[in-house]
Amino acid sequence: MDKNLHKRGTLFAVIGLYLLLFCSTIYVNKYVLSILKFTYPTIFQGWQTLVGALVLKLLVISGRLDLKTADITRITLISQLPAILCFVVAIYAGSKALAVLAIPIFLAVSGISDVINILCDTLIHKESIKTVQNFSVIAVLCSAFLVTWTDVRFQIENYGWLFLHIASLGLRSIYLNTYDIIFTKKSFKISEIDQVYLNYISSVVILAPSSYLLGDVLAAKDYPFIYFYQFYVGCVLSGVFGVALVICEIHIKKSFVSKKPTDFFCYLYLDVAKILCALVSMLFFEMKATKTNIFCVSKIQDQHLFNEYQLTKLVCKEG
C-alpha cells in the first residue's frame, strides 16, 4: 500500500514537471521564432535536435540512461525511415506554423492528430467507435474549421504549414501503430528512447544539408539578433527542454500505477498541459482574436479533454 502511494506520488511529481517543461518548451520556441524572429527552421530545428542528441549522450555517459542504438541493424534502421522522415517534416512544418500562429490556435488545431489516431485504431485494429466518440470527432473537425474561418490573421500559407505538421504526425502515428504488424521479428523492435535518439540524429543529418539547399544559411547571415545572448540561450534551452519533455513523457507512460478513476489525471496530462499552456501564453504573447475564434479554440480543447476522458473510462473498466 505504502509502496503504491509512493509510486503515485512520484508519478504526480513527474507529471507536474512535464506540465512545466511542456509550457517552457512551447514558450521558448515561440520566443525565438516570433519575438526574435529567427524563422529559419532547418537551422533552428537542426540545432534543437543536435542539442537533444548531445543531452541523451551525456545521460548515457553518466550512467543515467541506457541506449542500445549500437545494436540496431541496418535493416531495422531502414524500417524506421518512414517514421523518421515524418518526424523531420513534422518539426519543420510545426516550426513554420508556430512562428506565425498564436499558441492557443496552434495547440488546439494541432490536436486534430488525435482524431487521426482514433480513425487509425478503427481501420487498423478493428476497434469500434462509440456514438459519443463519433460526435466528438465531428465536433473537433467542425471547431477546427471554424477556428481557421474566424481567425482575423488567417493566411492560407500559415495554416498550410500547420496542417502539414498535423498530417506528418498522423502518418507517423499510423506507421508506428502498424509497425508491429508489418515487422513481427524481435530484431526489429526498438525502445522509445532509442527511437527518440534515432529521430534526433537523423534530423541533424537531414536538416544540415537542407539548410544550404533551402537557402536558410545564407539568409541567416543577415539575422539582426545574431550577437544577442538571448538568442543563444533560447536555442540551447529549446533543445534541453525538448529532450527533457520527451524523457518525462516516456517515464509517465511506463509508470501508470493503476487503472482507477482516481488516476484520471495521469491519463489526461497532455490535454491538461495544452490547456494550461494556452491559457498562460496569453499573458506573455499577443493574440488578436474575436470572441467566436476564442470560443472555437476552447471548444476544441474541451473536446480533446472529453475524448481522453472517455477513453480513460474504458481503460479503467477494462482494468
Question: pLDDT (tens digit, 9 = 90+) per residue, 267-276?
Answer: 677 778 888 8
Q: Above 60 in pLDDT, residue 319? A: no
Which of 5-9, 158-162, 240-244 holds the top average pLDDT? 240-244
**Which one-letter amino acid corresponds to residue 108?**
A
* Residue bearing the bigger pLDDT, 71 or 107: 107
Q: Above 70 in pLDDT, residue 227? A: yes
Q: What is the mean pLDDT of the chain?
A: 80
The pLDDT score that the predictor gives to residue 285 is 87
Element (H, E) at 114: helix 112-124
Residues 6+ away with beta carbon under 8 Å from 8: 257, 263
- Rounded to whole angstroms, the Cα distance separating 56 from 244 reads 9
Is the CB of residue 32 less than 8 Å from the CB of residue 38? yes
In this prediction, residue 311 has a pLDDT band, given cuts at 50, 70 and 90, of: low
The pLDDT score that the predictor gives to residue 1 is 47
Q: Above 50 in pLDDT, residue 257? A: no
Structure-derived torsion over alpha carbons of residues 306, 308, 311, 315, reported in degrees to the nearest 10? -130
What is the grid cell recorded at 298?
476552447
Give pTM, 2 decimals: 0.85
Helices (H) and strands (E) in the chain, counts: 13, 0
In this prediction, residue 90 has a pLDDT band, given cuts at 50, 70 and 90, of: very high
